Every structure is written in structure tokens, then in C-alpha cells.
A and B are shown apart, each in its own frame.
Chain A
Amino acid sequence: MRDRLKWLALLGGVMLVAVLPVGCGGGGGGGDTMTFGSASDPVVLDGALVSDGESLRVIDQIMETLVGLEAGSTKIVPELAESWTASADGLTWTFQLKDGVTFHDGEPFNAEAVCFNFDRWYNFSGPLQNSSVSYYWQTVFRGYANNEDDTLAPSLYQSCEAQDELTAVITITEPSSAFLGALALTNFGIASPAALTEFEADAGTVDEEAGVFQPTGTYGTENPTGTGPFKFESWERGDRLTLSRNDDYWGEPASLETLIFRPIADNAARLQALQTGEIQGYDLVEPQDIATIEGDANLQILDRPAFNVGYVTINQAMPPMNNPLVRQAVAHGLDRQAVVDNFYGGRGVVAHQFMPPLVEGYADDVTQFEFDPDRARALLQEAGLTLPVEIEFWFPTDVSRPYMPDPRRNFEAFAASLNQSGFRVTARSAPWSPDYLGRQQNGTAGHLNLIGWTGDFGDPDNFVGTFFQSQQPAWGTNEFPNREVIDILNRAERETDIAARTALYEDANRLIADWIPGVPYVHTSPALAFEANVTGYVPSPVSLEEFQTVEFSDEEESEETEETETE
């Protein structure tokens, strides 16, 4: 009996220890502090060396770029540059910089600092030239001062000159209309030259065995220094990354005093942490959680405008797909509306072209192919084929993408509607990486396959340029290139007049819709979740979201205080 009592006492003690501290901590939010749940830790806080969204999310609060994007859109607006002009040949760009801006370390922001950054990127060498490190520089500027790899193209960047304190002149080697928009990428944020040097941003060792570039300086891990509304405070890897308000900010200072990012890899865990108030917002909300969040009066869902496209590739190198009538039959045979209605939880819209509507160059009047099995069968017969027409249709397994949460379901619905339309579909699948992607890209994934794309930045070139400006085996365009489309895209890329350029991309979209290299079927809107009293967060199609304007609204402040300030 005494034994049992002793055990019970011990148990009671354990429980007490467990429960005691309740109330002496808070949710870490409310008032001046916001905690945001991210999916993972950043890699390093140096935009030039990363391409992952979690790194860029944090860097975007610390760094600013020459040009920015209007909140919630892809429209280019002044940021660190007040204005700019391009020379008639489109090669020389003159940027007038904002006056009175200082870096977080007190150093002045000026034309010299701008050129220092551009020259730094241009002169990357060794492992810094790898596309896993400087992916965006390569995407936009292609090559470096000294390309160390044969596969790298000559650089688009030529030089940068500080004409005077506040005038930076950047020269490029050929006209590029995408150049200006690309400067809005967080990757090209202007960092303090003093900090880059002092904290050895480019120093690093290359792991002999695995070849991984490991930064040895502390710039990207402890001392990222920009001009943005938040300053770097501290980073406990795996646990939290803390930013504090930049009180000397040149613009409207942030309302939040402290901004904390906590990595929570598990989706369900992120939702629960939001429900308990440990975080006040998170990204990458799972479609199945949206109803729960919308049903909770304390929480809200924000939509990010669609910036992706899911499409069915048609491989023209595989007969009879070289016949335009057959491709039209495919377009009429895919029940896109049903797929979008049934598998996207109300967050998708049917796509008719290869770029989302908010990108410049989207044409409102492209040919649309409604689901029409009779028409599809008629077209196949017109093409002289015996029904049913046998085709192979590939889909990936083990993957979920924003534009294709469950590829198998999309496939099954499409296969059913195609079978109604005079085709006989053979299902083929492979694991997403590397088998499926490899086959998709080298044109060995059947007559049809499922794939898609999420834009890197708000430029038509990043969509139709990526897909159609060169011949790609995925479409079978090695055999059937559409010279007209390629020609228009080449002209558009060189056109620096925005209106003329937009018109060219609209033309390209009309031509592509008639050519039917594939069938776009969906644009989706990813969701973010916040506490209901969070205001001022403007979702951006390209995920460039500033916390500068975020605040906790007043009417629910009292409730919030009650919950979190029980100390």
C-alpha cells in the first residue's frame, strides 16, 4: 500500500512539473511580434546564392532591389531606383537611385554599392557558377565574366558604372526586355558592400567528396545587410529566425517590431500551431485544410493569385500527333472543366493558354476548345484514322505539385474523357524524379503526359519563352518546330517598348493556342492562412510578400492580448 502511494506521489510530481509552466509563456505573437510558420529553414540569407522559397522569403524582408513589384501584382514599380531609362538600342540602362538610403550597417546606399553587387555576381567563380548555387543569375544573365563550364552561355551582363553618386549605368550585351523585370527578383537585392567584404560573403570551401559549396564567411548566416524594412537579428537553425524593425528605414517603417520565422515541416503541425496561436500565419496551406480554417472565426485564408499552369503535353514527334486535326481532337477530348471542378477544391480556374491571366501578354481572345467528344471523334475521322485511336498517356507518381495535387486523379478523369472521344488510352506512369521528369523532357513520355510550371518571375518570357522559344524534345518540336512562334518570341525578347512587347506576346499566345503543342488546363491559387486579426499582408503571385505593411487589427487586439499575455 505504501509502495503504491509512493508511486502515485511520484506520478503526481511528474504531472505537476509538466503542467506548472503553463501560462508562463505565450504564443509568441500579438501586438508587435509576429511569428510565421515556414516549411523549412532558409539555406543562407544571401539572395545571390539561393533559389529556394524559404530563403527568399526572409531575404525579401531584409533586402531591396532596384525595381520592385506593386504589391499583389507583377507590375514593375520603383524601389531603390527612383526612375530609369533605356538607350535606343536597349543595351544601356540608366538608373536614378533614391537619395538618403542607408544600409543596416550605416553605410550609404549609392551607385557604387549597386555596381559592387552586380560585379560581384558577374565575377562568381568555381562552385558559385553552379546552377544549384546561382540559378537565377544564370536564368537571367546566362553566364559570368569567365565561364568555367562549356555549357554556360556568354553573359548578358557587360558592365556597371557609377556615373555619379546616385546614377548607375548598367550595360548589357544584347537587348533584353526581360532584364528590367528580372531585377525585381529578390536574388538581385542590393547588399552593403562593406558587409559583403567584411563577412566574406563569397568565401567558402568545396567539400572534396560531395562537391558541396559550404560558405565559411558569416555574411549569409549571421550578417545579411540590406536596406529593407527589417534587420537581421538572430538565427537558431531549425528553431527560429528573428528579424527586427529597421527604425531608420527610408520609407514607411514596419508596424511589427519583431518578425520571427519558425520552420515547421509538417503541414498538420503548421495548422495546429496556428490554431494554438504559436504562429500567426503560414504558407503552403493544404487544400484539405482550407475548409477547417475558413470555418474557424479566429482564422482567415488569403489567396495568392494564380501564377502557374498545369498542362497536357502533346508529343508531335509521335504520330498521329503531328496531325493538327488530331491535336484538336485531343483538345476537344479533355474534360478540363470537370478536372478543375473536382480535384482543385475550388482553387483552380480552367486554363486556355500557357501563362496565367495576370502576366502581361495574356491574350483574351485565343481559340478555345470546349469539351466535345462528338467533335473530337469527327476530327479523328476527318484525319483519316480508324477509331479508336491508340495513344499512350503518362502521369507521374509520388508527387504533388501546386498545379497538380494528385496527378493520378487528373489522369484518370482525362483518360475517361479521351476514351469517350475516339481514343483508347494506355496508362503509363513513373516516379516523378528522375524517371518521369527525364522522360517528359526528352520526349519519351508517350503521346500525352501531365506536367506544369510555376513561374519564377512575372514575365511572359518566363512562361512561353521557357516553353517555346527553343526546340524541345518534350513537344517533339525537334521535328515540328513552329518557326513563326519562335520568331515572334525572339522579337518580343528584344523589344524594349512595353506595349509593343505585350502585343507580340499576345500574338504568340494566339498562335500557340491554334498550333496546340499541348493543352493547358488549370491555373491554381495557393492559399495562405493567418489569424483573423492580421491585416496588411498582400499575397503576391510571385510570392514576394512584404511584412512591412502587416499589423494586428485593433478590434481583436484585446482578445489576442488576453490569450497571449498571461504572464
Chain B
Amino acid sequence: MLRFVVRRLLLLVPILLGLSILVFLWVRALPGDPASALLGERATEQTIEQVREQYGLDRPIHVQYLSYLRLVVIDRDLGTSITSRRPVTEEISRRFPATVELALAALVFAIVLGIPLGFFAAKRHGGVFDNASLVGSLLGISIPIFFLALILKWIFAVELGLFPTIGRQSAEISIDHPTNFYVLDAILALDPVALGDAVWHLVLPAIALGSIPLAIIARITRAAVLDVQNEDYVRTARAKGLASGIVDRRHVFRNAMLPVVTIIGLQTGLLLSGAILTEKVFAIPGMGSWLADAIEARDYPVLQGGILFVAVVFVLVNLVVDVMYGFVDPRVRVS
């Protein structure tokens, strides 16, 4: 097990090296550069040249890359954002928790609703509930996130006034944010009002972001439960007279969870990409909206550092999911 984990972690090195080259080339292949994005109509050939020179963009690309690599590997620094003039690492430490909090909330929403939905749909296979959940999950997958977000905000915030539409906390709340996970910070501060406020701000974004994973989880659960239900051991269990609740819980549910766990792991990438739109629409200062803005501003250091960071997270999450297999299903041996 340990060897498995270590080997996977070592694999990160070539992955990151390759990725860093790809990202480095990709951001430079975008039309335009920070100089022209920064100056707009005011850009003259002279000022563009001056800014390019300042940012070192006039050097050959391999020299730029090596200098970036030295910065990352030796100085363990991701550079400075061109737009905010803050260190990229500082921005990540502030923004990443916002995205994780949102992604977790969305995942909780998707799991808590998706698994039971899929389970009951399978139990009532072919029935009205099953068909309704199928249609519902199809809708969940097909509605664009930002559209769903705007509709949710319009109904629940603008019309009904139940939820806030922007940010992570209300203007009146002022607590310290040692971890930048606002829910956790509120708990640490022992402030129930701040806690409620933080959760309250998460509801609509989590629903918007969680809609696609919810639909996928529900459908996979349904399929897996249908599969497992027809296995011999389930028939045997029923034949020997076990109560149906126990059969469902111990035999059907547990065995059906394996593909579901895989899917949940794979959703991480989806959640991160979905967070770009969700964060933008809900004005949440997270990684997603940050990277989206960085593309517009051609903020190379942010794009390079941010994307590398997200890639590391993605690889680590998948590693955790692989390790978790062993716990969900002892038959799976990681080797």
C-alpha cells in the first residue's frame, strides 16, 4: 500500500514537468500578451515593447521557461500576478479554500440527494419515480451551469428573497479567517450567526454546481443497484429469508457503491471546471473565477501557477479515491 502511494506520488514529477511545459506554451499561444491586454487603446508600439521587456517576454521562450522552472523548483515560488501584483501563492492560499468549500458543498448536495434518488429509482425500476428521476437527471446534465445559477438566483433570491446572490458572507459579519474556509472559520470562532451566514451563502452555488454531479451520481447509482440486485448472492440472501431492508443495506447498497465512489472521484475535475462559471456568477473569490479572469488579462504567472496547482490537486484526489477503493471493497487490492 505504502509503495503504491509512494510510486504514485513519484509519478507526479514527470506529470508536472510535462504539464508545466504544456501550460507554459499554451498561455503563450493565446492571442495577445499581458502588455497589450493591460494597455488596450493606450498601447503604443513603444509602451508594449517596454512592458514586454519588463515582464521578460522579449527573451527566447526556452530561456523564459528555464527561468520559470528555476523559480518554481529552486525558489519554490509561483511568481507574481501581473494584474493584482500579489504573489501567486498568496492568492492560492486565499482562493483555494473558497473553491474547496464550494466544491465540497456541491459534492455533499450531489451525494446526499443523488445516491438515494438513484437507489429508489432502481428499486422502483420502470415506475413513475424511476422515469421522473431519469428525466430529471437528464435535465440536470444538460442545463448549462451559469444558466441554472441565474435561474436559481432569480427565483430564490430576487423573487423570494430567501438567499443571497453574491459572495461568501454578509456585510455585517466580521470574523477572522485563519483558514479561509468560512464555514470552518465560523466554527472556530464559535459564532453560530457567522456559521449560518456562511452556509446560507453556499446553498445556491452548491446547488448550481452540484446539479451535474447529482444527475451523474443518481444515474450511476441506479445502474449499479440494478446490476447488483440481480446477482446470485442477493437472490441467495433473499431466499434464505433475510429482511429486505437488510439485504438492501448490506448486500445491494454496499456492492453498488464501488462504481459510485469512482464516479465521485472523477467529479472533482468537473467540479473545478464548473467552479469557474459558478464562482463568476456568484461573485465568489475562488480559483475558478481567478483563472477565468487571468485568461482575459493574459496573466501568465497566474495561469501557469494556478493550473499547475489545480493539476496537483486533481492527481492527489484521484490517488485518495484509488486508496479508498480498498476500504469500500476489501476485495480490491491495490498493488
Contacts and interface: CB of A to CB of B under 8 A. Distances in A.
Given A264-B166, A265-B293, A433-B37, A275 B87 contact: no
A42 to B, nearest CB: 9
Given A21-B199, A40-B293, A265-B283, A7 B94 contact: no
B281 A268 contact: yes
Contacts of B131: none
Contacts of A211: 53-56
Contact of B200 (A25, A151, A441): A25
Contact of B42 (A17, A135, A431): A135
Interface in A259-292: 260, 262-266, 268-269, 272-273, 275-276, 278-279
B116 interface: yes
A302 interface: no
Nearest to A208: B71
B154 A130 contact: no
Given A132-B38, A135-B42, A209-B301, A272 B158 contact: yes
Contacts of B166: 37, 262, 264, 269, 272-273, 278-279
B86 interface: yes
Main secondary structure of the interface of B (DSSP, over half): helix
Interface in B156-208: 157-158, 161-173, 177, 193, 196-197, 199-200, 203
Contacts of B164: 25, 276, 278
Contact of B32 (A11, A18, A434): A434
Contact of B157 (A276, A437, A452): A276
Contacts of A27: 171
Residue of A212, A434, A435 with highest tally of chain B CB at under 10 A:
A212
Nearest to B91: A237
Given A212-B85, A269-B283, A441-B45, A25 B197 contact: yes
Contacts of A41: 84
Contact of A264 (B37, B45, B249, B283): B283
Contacts of A278: 164-167
A297 interface: no
Given A4-B120, A269-B283, A272-B158, A130 B54 contact: yes
Nearest to B195: A21
A437 B43 contact: yes
A108 interface: no
A151 B50 contact: yes
Contacts of A21: 193, 196-197, 199-200
Interface stretch (B75-83, B214-222, B255-263, B325-333): B75-83
A453 interface: yes
A263 B79 contact: no
Contact of A214 (B80, B95, B203): B80
Interface in A192-215: 207-215
Contact of A131 (B51, B249, B282, B300): B51
A25 B281 contact: no
A239 B36 contact: no
A101 B282 CA distance: 42
Contacts of A24: 193, 196-197
Contacts of A131: 39, 47, 50-51
Nearest to A18: B203
A275 B159 CA distance: 9
B153 A208 contact: no
A18 B196 CA distance: 8
Contact of A17 (B54, B70, B199, B249): B199
Interface in B10-53: 31-33, 35-51, 53
B285 interface: yes
A452 B83 CA distance: 24
B245 interface: yes
Nearest to A258: B171
Contacts of B87: 214
Interface string A26-57: 11110001010100110110000000000000
B282 to A, nearest CB: 7
B244 to A, nearest CB: 10
A439 B169 CA distance: 46
Given A25-B164, A210-B56, A211-B56, A433 B67 contact: no
A275 B280 CA distance: 18
Contacts of B46: 151
A95 to B, nearest CB: 29
Contacts of A88: none
Nearest to B42: A135
A210 B80 contact: yes
A19 B161 CA distance: 11
Contacts of A4: 120
Contacts of A433: 31-32, 36-37, 40
A26 B82 contact: no
A14 interface: yes
A497 interface: no
A33 B161 CA distance: 20
Given A21-B200, A260-B171, A273 B45 contact: no
Given A3-B249, A18-B203, A131-B47, A28 B36 contact: no
A437 B31 CA distance: 12
A236 B150 CA distance: 25
Contact of B54 (A7, A35, A127, A265): A127
A375 interface: no
Contacts of A14: 109, 112
B82 A212 contact: yes
Interface in B51-69: 51, 53-56, 64, 67-68
Contact of B85 (A208, A215, A275, A454): A215
A366 to B, nearest CB: 24
B181 to A, nearest CB: 14
Contacts of A210: 55-56, 79-80, 82, 300-301
Given A28-B171, A209-B79, A239-B169, A7 B162 contact: no
Given A28-B172, A209-B67, A212-B301, A434 B79 contact: no
Contact of A453 (B41, B84, B94, B170): B41
B321 interface: no
Nearest to B67: A209
Contact of B116 (A7, A35, A213, A437): A7
B50 A18 contact: no
A214 B86 CA distance: 6
A214 B150 contact: no
A536 B54 CA distance: 43
Contact of A263 (B31, B33, B283): B283
19 contacts: A10-B112, A14-B112, A22-B162, A28-B172, A29-B171, A41-B84, A43-B84, A208-B71, A210-B82, A211-B53, A236-B177, A237-B84, A262-B166, A265-B280, A272-B166, A278-B164, A433-B37, A435-B32, A437-B43
Q: List 8 tightest A-B contacts by C-beta distance, closest first.
A: A238-B285, A28-B171, A21-B196, A25-B170, A434-B36, A207-B80, A264-B283, A212-B80
Interface of B: 31-33, 35-51, 53-56, 64, 67-68, 70-71, 79-87, 94-95, 98, 109, 112-113, 116, 120, 150, 153-154, 157-158, 161-173, 177, 193, 196-197, 199-200, 203, 245, 248-249, 280-283, 285, 289, 293, 300-301
Given A211-B56, A240-B171, 20 more contacts: A2-B245, A14-B112, A18-B199, A22-B163, A24-B197, A25-B200, A37-B166, A41-B84, A44-B85, A131-B47, A132-B39, A135-B42, A208-B67, A213-B85, A214-B86, A266-B280, A269-B166, A269-B283, A435-B32, A452-B41
